[in-house]
């Protein structure tokens, strides 16, 4: 090392000593941040001393895969540098290199945040990058998935000899491999499993021609065997393939076929962890081990001994026969995997912790893409506890899922255990910053907690479950709610808006039905009463624009006839004359007199709006680069109370209110915690049907709590 690198390492050592000895905290990122400040090239200096290295990135599973891969590389006695604690930004990787330099590591295995790959890979130049998956996650930080793909592709271009070991079952990963010249080694599950397919997907369109993809089978999310019927792009041939996947009482058994050579080499794997996501994690670790020169013969031994880091998936045994299992989930796909596990174990008590700190993302719209409804068939589900900084939002989500059992707001795990029956298991699912406190509390309770003498859940206090309020409304046919293109425009939890509309009708005895219009289907608005047009990623929104352009007259006629329409974000932009997608001008539908230009920055944050639509301010979250300007004949939905937010950040207006049309940038989603807006849409639809009725009041305690929390956040931002 040069003198500068040596000084950087000494400064990092001092920072670690200060944080651990004086502040009594873990070293974390601080030593690496200090080292980088002294020597910005420290990763290259220390990484260049390694004989080989590998990086792991992706949305879900990074920490587990990295730890398992590091253990596999170390199984033959190789000294491995690794950021096992999950400090995966540039400073965390630098800290791991500095801390382990004294042992003279021979290999490196590093977890890396997706957006930091472009900063770390060109310096480290690893032998391989293992790309696990790409799912919607922290949209206010990462932006759309397209941006994450661009960053990873650029990182690979700057480290051209790095092999890309990627999940070919994910078209978002495969499309990155198709864009770069790096050696590609695809892995995937090469057969249908029929175990966990769900309704959530983050990629439905071809990376080459933007046509909708066809799937032979789906494992979960967008992972599966796909092809484009238009241009023929398809899942690549697999270099590493999982076959004979069998669910056992303790986890999974499967074979991983190494198909790189003229002869297939088969590795049999047994894992005690449930969930197909663990099949992918284990397979990725084995593939990374093989590519990076590890000893695959010891892999099963390593897998048997491996324990997930930081209490992930750990079962805590407590006094009185109680058990609690800690489960980390930070996005819809991760939560759905945990929900599948709760369902498989016939869980009776569930605790959900939701935070909205910087590391979590401040936008909580994504909880409406969690498939909680899959728990409806658990007959013995007694209670769902909700905690965290945004527990009220999660409580509303649980309410609209209509699960059996009670809903209880709690401050911590101990509050839940006090209401759990003796000897029962509590499944605790927490997002990113909520998880460490949950684990710390469970560790304390495992040592110190004493079970109540007579534990019972009969004392759980919760809002009364909704029932029919007021006399049933007589209609010649149900209200028809039409959800346009949920298979493409699904970025901001619009399922919550549909749930709010349909449930608030149902709870009042107003007959209604929800129809989905999917890509490629004929648009029929002849008897539509409420239409929802949501927001999507750029590629998906462009596909919808092309789809609707030939049917614009139907939407125009519907609006002209007083039709009720809610358009969110991209759907709102699409109703105007045009919007900008980067430098590309995309022709709009010309339904409303507005246009959207491109801004230099994104408008991101919590917003509150004074609007004539309802008495309480409308609250929500915005995240858009477009700047929408209304013509003089259009009026905004309301006045934004947060400076620099709304349509364009300048004129103070937010959204548009045009007869029965509400267009808005607010998600969250907007309707569940703004029941007044939902009721305005329902009442407008009934008036159009000739029924000028006063809607019966509903018990909106949870909705009001969630609304008030969001309003306080917006008011704080306003100050």
Total count of residues recorded for the chain: 719
CB contact at 8 A, 513 and 478: yes
Query: What are the DSSP calls for 628-664, one per residue?
Result: EEE-TT-B-SEEESSTT-TTTSSS-EESEEETTEEEE
Q: Residue 690: count other Cβ atoms within 10 Å of its Cβ.
A: 8
- Pick from 84, 132, 143, 93: nearest CA to 116: 93
CA of 693: how far to CAs of 34, 48, 607, in Å? 66, 74, 31
CB contact at 8 A, 97 and 81: yes
Q: Please give the Cα distance from 41 to 685 (Å, whole number).
A: 62
Instruction: Map residue 496 onto helix, strand or coil.
Output: helix
Residue 457 CB partners (closer than 8 Å, separation 6+): 349, 382, 383, 406, 419, 420, 421
Q: What's the sign of the alpha-carbon dihedral 317, 356, 155, 96?
A: negative
Question: Is omega for the bond preceding 321 within 30 degrees of 0, making it cis?
Answer: no
Q: Please give the Cα distance from 99 to 118 (Å, whole number).
A: 23
What secondary structure, in 3-state letters, does 391-440 show?
A: HHHHHHHHHHHCCCCEEEECCCHHHHHCCCCCCCEEEEEECCCCHHHHHH
DSSP-assigned beta bridge partners for residue 80: 107
Torsion of CA 581, 586, 589, 595, to 10 degrees: 60
- Pick from 130, 58, 59, 670: nearest CA to 336: 59
Query: What are the DSSP calls for 518-567, one per residue?
Result: -TTSPP--TT-SEEEE----HHHHHHHHHHHHTTHHHHHHHHHTT-EEEE
- Pick from 649, 655, 693: nearest CA to 509: 693
Helix then strand then coil, % of the chain, to nearest 5: 35, 25, 40
Instruction: Map residue 280 onto helix, strand or coil.
Output: helix
CA of 96: how far to CAs of 39, 81, 494, 602, in Å? 15, 7, 41, 34
CB contact at 8 A, 537 and 146: yes
Active-site choice (427, 462, 624, 667) = 667
Query: Is position 667 annotated as part of the catalytic site?
Result: yes
Active-site choice (9, 82, 109, 569) = 569
Query: What are the DSSP calls for 335-351, one per residue?
Result: HHHHHHHHHHTT-SEEE
Query: Is position 9 annotated as part of the catalytic site?
Result: no
CB contact at 8 A, 598 and 626: yes
Q: Please give the Cα distance from 607 to 600 (Å, whole number).
A: 20
CA of 499: how far to CAs of 171, 495, 672, 675, in Å? 29, 6, 8, 11
Indicate which residues carry an active-site annotation. 569, 667
């Amino acid at each position: 090392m040069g003198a500068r690198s040596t000084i950087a390492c000494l400064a990092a050592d001092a920072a670690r000593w200060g944080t651990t000895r004086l502040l009594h905290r873990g070293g974390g990122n601080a030593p690496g941040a200090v080292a980088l400040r002294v020597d910005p090239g420290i990763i290259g200096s220390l990484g260049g001393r390694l004989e080989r290295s590998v990086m792991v990135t992706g949305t879900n599973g990074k920490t587990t895969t990295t730890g398992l891969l590091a253990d596999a590389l170390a199984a033959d006695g190789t000294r491995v540098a690794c950021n096992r604690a999950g400090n995966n930004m540039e400073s965390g990787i630098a800290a791991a290199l500095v801390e382990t330099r004294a042992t003279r590591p021979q290999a490196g295995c590093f977890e890396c945040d997706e957006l930091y790959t472009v900063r770390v890979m060109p310096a480290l130049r690893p032998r391989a990058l293992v790309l696990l998956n790409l799912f919607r996650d922290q949209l206010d930080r990462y932006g759309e998935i397209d941006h994450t793909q661009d960053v990873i592709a650029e990182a690979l271009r700057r480290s051209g000899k790095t092999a890309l070991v990627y999940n070919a079952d994910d078209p978002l990963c495969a499309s990155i491999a198709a864009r770069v010249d790096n050696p590609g080694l695809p892995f995937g599950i090469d057969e249908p499993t029929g175990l966990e397919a769900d309704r959530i997907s983050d990629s439905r369109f071809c990376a080459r021609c933007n046509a909708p993809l066809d799937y032979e089978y789906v494992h979960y999310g967008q992972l599966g065997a796909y092809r484009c019927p238009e241009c023929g792009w398809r899942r690549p041939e697999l270099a590493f393939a999982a076959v004979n996947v069998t669910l056992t009482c303790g986890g999974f058994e499967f074979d991983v076929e190494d198909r790189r050579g003229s002869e297939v080499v088969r590795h049999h794997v047994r894992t005690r962890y449930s969930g197909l996501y663990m099949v992918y994690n284990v397979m990725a670790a084995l593939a990374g081990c093989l590519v990076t020169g590890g000893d695959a013969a010891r892999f099963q031994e390593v897998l048997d001994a491996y324990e997930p880091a930081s209490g992930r998936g750990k079962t805590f045994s407590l006094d009185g026969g109680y058990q609690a299992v800690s489960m980390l989930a930070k996005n819809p796909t991760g939560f759905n995997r945990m929900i599948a596990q709760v369902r498989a174990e016939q869980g009776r008590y569930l605790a959900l912790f939701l935070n909205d700190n910087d590391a979590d993302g401040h936008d909580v719209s994504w909880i409406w893409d969690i498939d909680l409804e899959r728990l409806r068939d658990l007959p013995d589900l007694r209670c769902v506890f909700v905690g965290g900084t945004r527990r009220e939002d999660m409580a509303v989500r649980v309410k609209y899922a209509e699960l059996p059992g009670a809903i209880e707001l709690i401050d911590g795990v101990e509050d839940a255990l006090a209401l759990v029956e003796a000897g029962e298991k509590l499944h605790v699912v927490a997002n990113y910053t909520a998880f460490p406190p949950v684990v710390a509390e469970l560790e304390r309770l495992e040592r110190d907690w004493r079970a109540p003498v007579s534990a019972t859940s009969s004392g759980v206090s919760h809002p009364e479950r909704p029932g029919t309020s007021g006399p049933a409304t007589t209609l010649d046919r149900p209200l028809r709610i039409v959800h346009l293109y949920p298979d493409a425009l699904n970025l901001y939890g619009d399922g919550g808006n549909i749930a709010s509309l349909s449930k608030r009708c149902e709870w009042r005895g107003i007959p209604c039905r929800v129809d989905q219009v999917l890509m490629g289907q004929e648009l029929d608005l002849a008897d539509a009463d409420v239409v929802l047009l949501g927001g999507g990623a750029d590629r998906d929104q462009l596909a919808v624009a092309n789809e609707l352009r030939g049917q614009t007259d139907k939407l125009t006629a519907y609006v002209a006839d007083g039709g009720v329409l809610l358009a969110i974000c991209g759907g709102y932009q699409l109703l105007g004359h045009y919007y900008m997608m980067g430098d590309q001008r995309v022709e709009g539908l010309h339904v409303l007199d507005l246009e959207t230009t491109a801004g230099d920055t994104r408008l991101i944050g919590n917003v509150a709006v004074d609007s004539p639509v309802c008495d309480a301010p409308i609250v929500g979250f915005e995240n858009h680069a477009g700047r929408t300007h209304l013509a003089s004949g259009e009026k905004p939905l309301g006045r934004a109370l947060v400076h620099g937010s709304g349509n364009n950040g300048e004129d103070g207006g937010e959204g548009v209110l045009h007869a029965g049309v509400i267009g808005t940038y607010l998600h969250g989603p907007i309707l569940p915690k703004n029941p007044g807006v939902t009721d305005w849409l329902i009442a407008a639809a009934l008036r159009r049907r000739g029924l000028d009725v006063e809607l019966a009041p509903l018990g909106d305690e949870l909705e009001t709590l969630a609304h008030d929390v969001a309003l306080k956040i917006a008011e704080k931002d306003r100050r």
